Chain A
Amino acid sequence: MSPLDAVPKSIPRRASVDLPTVTLAHGGGGRAMRDLIDGVFLEAFGCPELKEMNDAAVIALSGLAAQGDRLAFTTDSFVVDPLVFPGGDIGKLAVCGTINDLAVSGARPLYLTCAVILEEGFPIPELRRIVGSMASAAREAEVAVVTGDTKVVGRGACDKLFINTAGIGVIEHGLDLGPTRVRPGDVILVNGLLGDHGATILNARGDLALSTPIESDCAALHDLIGVVKAAAPNLRFLRDATRGGLATVLNEVAESARVGIALDESAVPIRAEVKGFCEILGLDPLYLANEGKLVAIVPEAEAPAALAAMRGHRHGAEAAVIGRVTDRRPGRVTMRTVFGGERVVDMLVGDQLPRIC
């Protein structure tokens, strides 16, 4: 039974959330704050746990222990600017991002928290929209938001809205993922086109005056991961390629596992528009953030099954094998370029910036 099954269909709206903007009173702990929580958060999330407004969500251990033998526990804060962009918004990111962190650890994501810090003057309709995105992303993922917190700070003390989500999930007995499991000969896969999110955000800031159809790939991947685990029981490693992109994840693996990684540039799937965007600005798509893409490392024998499983899933239609783990040059990621030469793909220092040279 999903925690969402007992959701009441609507909760009566209160008057003070018909105001256009958030005020300091909304963070004050009194009536206005109750109204905000009821009228915006509870209305959207609709979870019975949440409705009780206890100081903590209480979850029976027996229920968790029935699903596995370890708890995965993660947190992330979301401060993206702009708040809304093609393909999603900060709310969807906050839910999918934490779900993905749990899922790539091998866990079944179960419960989330939602803590919000609002800048005084933040428009309530926009808050509703963002919280609505969080709620629909959580519902789609069958994950419940069971507790939260709301604070309001004075104008200028935060940039519009910051969200923190923490999440717990359960890891089934016997599943062990991590860089130390990776061995030379293993195959590296990604579940689709890289760089969409990073390009979207950079473009959405508006300074570059480029118009593109690129959208964020923000998505919850735990279901996809489920089919991959089933197809490749000896799956070694999973990680989502968020900030810093594919190159950062691979460098982390190479370093932790003391293995080499050899990529094939022509096998790395990148949308034509993202390639064009990067060429114009002098950016390298390997370092652009993704919010719906992961790196999976599997033993060679299980690679065809893993690839097929990904491609059969809606979040893996463009999945590809992009390289291999080697014992050559441990700690380093190298890439055979489309031109036939070889280059090193190193860790980035700082953020990538567009260039003219």
Chain B
Amino acid sequence: MRYVDEFRDPVRAKALLGRIEALAASLAQARDRPLYLMEVCGGHTHTIFKFGIEGLLPKSIELVHGPGCPVCVLPMGRVDDCVALAETPGVILATFGDAMRVPGSKKSLMQAKADGADIRMVYSPLDALQLARANPGREVVFFALGFETTMPSTALTVLQAEAEGIRNFSLFCNHITIIPTMKAILDSPELKIDGFLGPGHVSMVIGTAPYRFIAEQYKKPLVVSGFEPLDVLQSIWMVLAQLAEGRTEIENQYVRVVPAGGNDKALEAVDRVFELRPFFEWRGLGSIDHSGVRIRDAYASFDAERRYSVPDVKIADPKSCQCGEVLKGAIKPWECKVFGKACTPATPMGALMVSSEGACAAYYQYGDLDDLARRSASA
């Protein structure tokens, strides 16, 4: 596959790894702890595990998996609301596959489907709109989630529905924004991250300027990274180079896809349809100001929250759940008291274990659990 296979080339990887090792070794001389690099985005976590990148890096670099997984941070109360929508008579709930297994306080969408709710998995919001066209007697609700990457597609779908006069289509909006998320992490006192791999596809929409505050105020380097393994390695190299040279800048490794100014058409559509919520609840991270968007009044007829009544109950995370600390990078997944015990992919307590690139599920699926057990025993 073009633009994919070339960026998985192990020969080019060797050279990069040599550079990374050299830089890490020189940086290690002045430090008594490993370098902590955080990849914000769940897609990067997936790449790191799928290609076994962590094992290729020197031990003086540790990767910390950040909260860039919009499924992982869905609070239970919102999942309950979505289940309620799905169980409303006449409703077809259309959702991405990722959201099917996230546990609500009583059940997940998968379980609601087994109980008889009409829930359909779609690849695109356009397919949800097509369901509305094909089923004029039913109400189609689309479970919209994702960061800024996915907002334009939802917004453009609403605009398309409006243009066609489709009246039986609405969405349950759970889109969230990346910048307040990153701020919440940077502000947390337990933080010891030295540099960041920035979300490549969010940046394709918003550009690279919004991250400037990270370099200027928080004095941390950030490299916007692509999703193939060579991209991730090159980005790690670029972060290390900044640290070695005493720079703190926002750099763009993913230049073939990310324009510095983002995508105007996408941002226009988002701005037309959505506005910021004053605050939004995040699983494990609590309430974060201006971190979510809702549908503007002009498009209220497409807002499922206004068309239907949902329980809208704030459900606390289970007490033993340490998702928040893992999301902030304060602890590693296996350091969570319930990891692998009460909380496994088969019996997830928190969404980090449910979503396939939640840090915990990724470790459980791909990681070297025997090695982790040894590490935590010797710690």
Contacts and interface: CB of A to CB of B under 8 A. Distances in A.
Interface string A334-357: 001111111110100110011111
A343 to B, nearest CB: 4
A349 B10 contact: no
Contacts of B163: none
B13 A356 contact: no
A349 B346 contact: yes
A344 B365 contact: yes
A48 to B, nearest CB: 45
B13 A275 contact: no
Given A338-B10, A341-B53, A346-B364, A356 B98 contact: yes
Nearest to B123: A208
Nearest to A335: B52
B334 interface: no
B43 A357 contact: yes
A17 B122 CA distance: 39
Which among A208, A284, A344 has the highest number of chain B CB atoms within 10 Å?
A: A344
Contacts of A280: 123
Contacts of B127: 207-209
A279 B2 CA distance: 12
B153 to A, nearest CB: 10
B91 to A, nearest CB: 17
A275 B51 contact: no
B55 interface: yes
Contact of B1 (A208, A209, A276, A346): A276
Given A329-B370, A346-B365, A281 B4 contact: no
Contacts of B52: 336-337, 339-343
Given A340-B13, A341-B55, A353 B365 contact: no
Given A276-B1, A343-B366, A346-B365, A357 B71 contact: yes
A341 B56 contact: yes
A123 to B, nearest CB: 22
A340 B54 CA distance: 11
B53 A339 contact: yes
B146 interface: yes
Contact of B51 (A276, A279, A343): A343
Interface in A310-353: 329, 332, 336-344, 346, 349-350, 353
Contacts of A276: 1
Contacts of A349: 344-346
A356 B94 CA distance: 14
Contacts of B355: 357
Which among B1, B4, B51, B370 has the highest number of chain A CB atoms within 10 Å?
A: B51
A347 to B, nearest CB: 9
A357 B357 contact: yes
A225 B159 CA distance: 57
B123 A281 contact: yes
B229 A339 contact: yes
Interface string B340-379: 0000111000000001110000001111111000000000
Given A209-B127, A276-B1, A339-B51, A357 B70 contact: yes
Interface in B1-24: 1, 4, 8, 10, 13-14
Interface in A272-310: 272, 275-276, 279-282, 284
A339 B10 contact: yes
B121 A354 contact: yes
B120 interface: yes
Given A342-B55, A344-B365, A357-B71, A350 B101 contact: yes
B69 interface: yes
B97 interface: yes
B197 interface: no
A232 B53 CA distance: 38
Contact of B97 (A209, A275, A343, A355): A355
A155 B49 CA distance: 47
A356 B73 CA distance: 15
Interface in B22-52: 42-43, 46, 49-52
Nearest to A280: B123
Contact of B356 (A210, A343, A355): A355
A356 B51 contact: no
B150 interface: yes
Nearest to B358: A357
A207 B1 CA distance: 24
Interface string B239-254: 0000000000000000
B326 interface: no
A207 B101 contact: no
Contacts of A338: 8, 10, 51
Contacts of A281: 97, 123
Contacts of B71: 357
B100 interface: yes
A355 B98 contact: yes
Interface string A28-41: 00000000000000
B10 A207 contact: no
Contacts of A344: 365-369
Given A207-B127, A356-B96, A279 B10 contact: no
24 contacts: A209-B124, A209-B127, A276-B1, A279-B1, A279-B4, A281-B97, A282-B46, A337-B51, A338-B51, A339-B13, A341-B53, A344-B365, A344-B368, A346-B364, A346-B365, A346-B366, A349-B344, A355-B97, A355-B356, A356-B150, A357-B42, A357-B43, A357-B69, A357-B70
Given A339-B52, A339-B53, 12 more contacts: A209-B124, A279-B1, A332-B370, A338-B8, A338-B51, A339-B8, A339-B56, A344-B367, A354-B121, A354-B123, A356-B123, A357-B70
Interface of A: 207-210, 272, 275-276, 279-282, 284, 329, 332, 336-344, 346, 349-350, 353-357
